[in-house]
Structure 1
Amino acid sequence: MVLRQARVELEQAPAAPAGADAEAYLNALIHEPAYRIDARNAPMIRALALHDAAQGRWLLQLPCHHLIMDHTTLELISAEIALISQGARASLAAPVPFRDFVAQARLGLSADEHRRFFSGMLADVDAPTAPFGRLDVQGDGSRADECVQRVDPGVSLALRSLARRHGVSPAAVFHLAWAQVLALTTGRDDVVFGTLLFGRMRGGAEVDRAVGMFINTLPIRVRLRRKGLAVALKQTQSALMDLLAHEHAPLQLALRCSGVPAGTPLFSTLLNYRYSAGADGGTALWEGVRTIGGRERTNYPLTLSIDDLGEGFRIVVLAEAGIDPHRIAAYVQSTLAQLIDTSNDQPASPAAMGLEESRTLEQWSRGVPGLPQAFTHHLIESQAARRGDAVALVYEGQQVGYADLNARAGPDVTVGVALPRSVELVVSLLAVMKAGGAYVPIDAELPAERVAYMLRDSGVTRVVSDGATLAGLALPAGVQALDLDTLVLADEPDHNPDVVLHPEHLAYVIYTSGSTGKPKGAANRHGSLHNRLAWMQAEYGLTPDDVVLQKTPFSFDVSVWEFFWPLMGRTMWCCRRRRSALTYRCGSSSGR
């Protein structure tokens, strides 16, 4: 049902408490999480006034629901309020019927045409673009933090010059920059995010005066993949232009065209590029009346709005709790500066960190002061040389000394490890590292399809396992199985292999759970592993008398320090296989 008339009533807010800041008080009334606009009752806009006696002024808030209003509509309504306040009601233009544009949108491209377009764009996208792993797109934005920054005037001029030089719009430059920020915060070089379309580009005559909700959110895909700047800008501009023909397509139709599993969002960020020439904080609407601020809410955990002010630009970041909007704004600013300095053929690389963050990361990467850089397996070898008879590992009553553990971890280079928790598992992990390889944990109890994907994706050529596990493991063609039940190593040398390694060489690759799509291999390097273990020892200080319980499945990253920290001079006590993740039955032989 469409009402022919819906009256906006002017409400007066309760007086602010004595001594309270009236502006902050009125903002708090509107932005309280409990404040709601009832979508069942028209109009979905309110006018709330408050007298600010201390400042000798009246304040007016116009809270509204996005179902009926976009940025342009708010500017049109503000201009009409100005005419009425100045006694120029007769100058108001005749209303433009919104139904005309509804009809025009319905007469546009068919659903099948929209479906073909978005399927071509998104059918092979099987994982969401979710910075910092944030996937909840059902929030109300009540706890979001905001950061508003101006782009330096010199940078703004350089960005416009960059756009002209490449024959693209400034909007394309900012879309490419946002794609680079998402690449940095997701670890992906093929990203999808929502972009807000103006919705009035094909509206015909008088569409610029129409009041209503015209904007529409649609997905845009940007494939970075080390493309040169000129190519990346052209392709981003082309993607934006292609979207215009589908600016009225339903978002849900577009989302269903991707390969992302049902129930998982395709993207969790938005970019809103809007033209706001002359619209700046504190600008005068008419004599005696000024805009003193505004705030938006969104259900997405992270949004970037770019205000094109005609010459300069303003950045507005909205981020849910736990994401620092100032940090995101710094990423955007540094990426824009980087784009300006990038030559045409250079890849449009991910955003550079801010100076302060770069210094912090560099400081953390230096390791623990006073401790030499080393390899974890070399530290275990040194323990074998100095304390060969000391107990290194205990499993179900079986004790293994450091000398025996080191000798059994011979130089058999391999990658995949598919074993239950056992002495053989620990020996195999250490053997891979000593041989200069990176071990890839393969949990044979996972679904066969997922195991097969990890084996293919990791590129392993050998898998260490046992007969029972191999019986249920389908190895891809070309992958050699090393069955410990039949492998004869009696005649193999037991000295430490002379393998030349660098701290940047891989130590292990562990796959994620795949909750946001396909599992992803997280590659970890020797230098990082040593820094972590050295820090733990410096912070918590295990002694040779301490025992560490190894309980975490080796396909989870926490297991790494449980395996290797105690083996650097302490004792590891392995929990029996198939124990609950919450309770462990530790025998009296542990002494702990």
Structure 2
Amino acid sequence: MPPAPELVTAGGPRGRTRFVHKTAKVERAAWERLKAAATARDLTVSSVLAAAYAEVLAAWGKGPDFTLNVTLFNRLPVHPQVDAILGDFTSMILLGVEGSAHADFEARARAIQQQLWHDLEHHEVSGIEVLRELARVRQQYAGAIMPIVFTNMLNLGAKGFAPLYTALERLGSVEFILTQTPQVWLDYQVHEDAEGLRLTWDAVEGLFPPGMVDDMLAAHCRLLRRLADDEQAWRGPLLLTPPDQLASHDAANQTEAAIPDVLLHRLFEAQVPRRPDHPAVIAGGRTLTYAELHRRACQVGNRLRALGAVPDALVAIVMEKGWEQVVAALGIHMAGAAYVPIDPAVPPARLHWLLAHAEVKLVLTQSHLDAGLSWPADVQRLRVDGDDFAREDDAPLPPAQRPGDLAYVLYTSGSTGQPKGVMIEQRSVVNRMLDVNRRAGVGPDDRCLALTALHHDLSVWDIFGVLAAGATIVMPDAAATRDPAHWTALMRRERVSLWNSVPAFLEMLVEHLEHSPGDVPEALRWVILAGDWIPVGLPDRLRAHLPRVAMVASGGPTETTIWDIWYPIGAVDPAWRSIPYGKPLTNSRYHVLDPGLRPCPTWVPGELWIGGAGLARGYWRDEARTAAAFVTHPVTGERLYRSGDLGRWLPDGNIEFLGRADNQVKVGGVRIELEEIEAELGRHPQVRACAVIARGEPGGARHLVAFVVPDETDARPEADAAPRPHGADPSLDDPAAKLEFKLRHHELRSDLAGRPAVALPESDSDPLSALVAARRSHRAFRSDPVPLAALAGLLAGLRAHRDGDLTRRGYPSAGSLYPVQVYMFVKPGRVDGLDGGAYHYDPVEHRLVRLGDDLPGAGVHAPVNRPAFTAAAFSLLLVGQRRAIEPLYGAQARDFCLLEAGYASQLSCWPPPSTASACAPSAASTTPPSAARSASTTATSSSTATSAACPTSKPPPPPPARSAPPACAPGCARACPRPWSLPPTSSSTPCRAPPTASSTARPSPPAASPTPMPPRRPPAASRSGSPPSSPTS
């Protein structure tokens, strides 16, 4: 049984429920014609009225399939005098309406009539009993389950019972009447009198948006009159949206304006003779004037055209943030081609796929990326910051393309697992640049902070919009694009006046200003926010520092050219659920349509379809997806883009954004198709099924979470050798290629030549140099057992000690929480005095607590690490317990666990003196054994851990005397137990802590007997077989 109609509400009923009474009527003549039309189709008027009611509920609700609560006058003939009994003989049945299964109104009315007759055969079963059963099945024991009621009183007169309204009119004029029923939101009552058909709707006051019930009742009456007179209404599509609302929506879409017949780079070139020495780009401590930028762009354009660049061909820009991006984009347009920006941080396989799919033959890049990235052999790379264009002709080029040719192609996430290349034409971009510049009043005195990455479409205005107005682009350093302190310093120094970004960046700026109010960029006058939800409180937080700043909420998919809707943010009502989406920009049109492509009434959610000059040509080399997303409306003939976004019209003509109709999400302003992530995960040979969701509230911090069902049949060594899909694994297999890759030293920056540098003096007493020299990642191991003392010395570095009232360890942890726990898998007979099995290391008591006999197989490690694991005596697992840190650090808990695991791993990797053990790190993914899981303090999902296989080997040679750690400094206030061995010794490892102000040092206690911590209660055991909470390292 479908649920009750899901009507638009203004919120749930609160406090004392009060009803409002609405009345309407259909004149006698129209009512008689309606009855005749129903009779001609073998339909009862009750069925027709119920069907018309259902049409209205569907138009103002979530869909056409729902259940109506139909009341019955159920005075059963159980006694000859039953008609003389006073009492309430009302009963009810639940009438299922399946409007989606029928094409026209007549078919839907006939289906309702047949369903009603079928239900009446079982009227002895009370609807109350059905409601009780529904509540039990749905576990809904509070609130209204079927609150939308249809009460038909047409036949009461034939039974001798006049409706209440008619009976009261015999006594005089009815001034006020109201019926109220518990657990009812809307009660439609219909009866006939001398004037025709009388309709009354009783609705809960304040439950529905203002005016909505009146609009629904009026639409119902219009439909009944049309059914009385219009044959087409019975068989054709029905549009119930009120005419005044259609006019309001149409007025918001009256955005037509002429678009100049000009190219993007010509808008820039028009500014060059006006202000040749005006700064065009400020980036990395370098300033390019309009004249110099034009000269460099012309050099790029001449070279590209000589190499075969033509209109609608794509030239790739693979660059980090820098002035070179601006030169490249302008130069490509001057050559006559279109650019396709690619993030240099994408995996090598994705880079190769994008270049191949875009049919790129020419790439513009930077010198350090040219040397550092893996490039396909069939592309020619040109370095904009190198000497590739030094002797190139800088003469201006005549335009080769037309306004209808491509300006750029941006790749966005795709639901099939492969990105989609959105093709945007020159005319569309010119329209948007000039429109926004006019609205924001951009001029030569403005400076814009270009935060957005080039592969995001907000960057288009940062370049072409700013230069078209003769203003200045200010770029942050490539390494500081996420550093608000760097932004504010740059904005204050360069007097930045314009900001254009996703809301997450502005929130980072505001948080910085709240902690550093002296960094306020006072020249900032205009802020454009787009690409994601805007937190409702963010505008007022910014205005607390910049009271006169103008803010605009803008939006629109990449397929409609950057932005296509706009809302100036004034006073923000704290009760708002979101900032309004706004009204369409120039030459843009928005339509809120239902699944039948009919306009939705005001307040009613629907899918956002977009038309106008900003629409993309389609998807690059993908006709199927282009045809699915860009359609022609069957009634208006307008070409529309199906955005997949949900929204609704508000009474003031603005649109409210409501989210997505599919699985597409925004994370940090980046559009992501969850199906693409799922498709990529599903290609892994050890993944049987997976699902990806976005966690976090829209407008806040969000992240992706993947749920994976492993394919146990593929958890074997040969599975790793199975063929992978093209581009899934970018790792090198050839030994010579691996060696060559190592020798190229990609870990070192290649752009340091010519930069000022300060040489640091050499130290004669570096305490770490000997440890670094002695550290090894062992791959050959002895087979004799490891002494227990050696193992104890290895673990002593992870031990917890008491320092006064505090607890200290040899490595830091966020908030001193130490959520990372240590587990150990010991092979039988490989450690003296220790049985094989799983253990938990107790850092307080410095002991190993046995958990069980389960041991993992080598399959948890990568193939290259499996021989080391097989030969090792034991393995250490660092398992992060999220419940021990998330209450304080939330989403950052995983990062802090990873840091702590790194600190602990480093201690385990130093060669401990006088022991016969050493560690070789090895990433692994495994679930602790059942015994380990049952001993955990939590019992949620399975774990993923980083393990270290611990081989036995000969002890390293002792370090040179000059490299030994220094003795404790005078005034050391820290107890310094020896970290590497358990047996008592007469010496202790010197402390590296700085001296305190005190002149008297506290003596270090013996290493074997640090101040013990009080006994702790053992962790509560959970159900057997439940793993620890998802660890992060």
| TM-score range for the pair, normalised by the shorter chain length | 0.3 to 0.5
Which fold has the larger relative contact order, with Cα–Cα distance below 8 Å and residues 6 or more apart in sequence?
Answer: 1
Looking at CA atoms only, which structure, 1 or 2, has the larger radius of gyration? 2
TM-score, structure 1 as length reference: 0.46
TM-score, structure 2 as length reference: 0.29
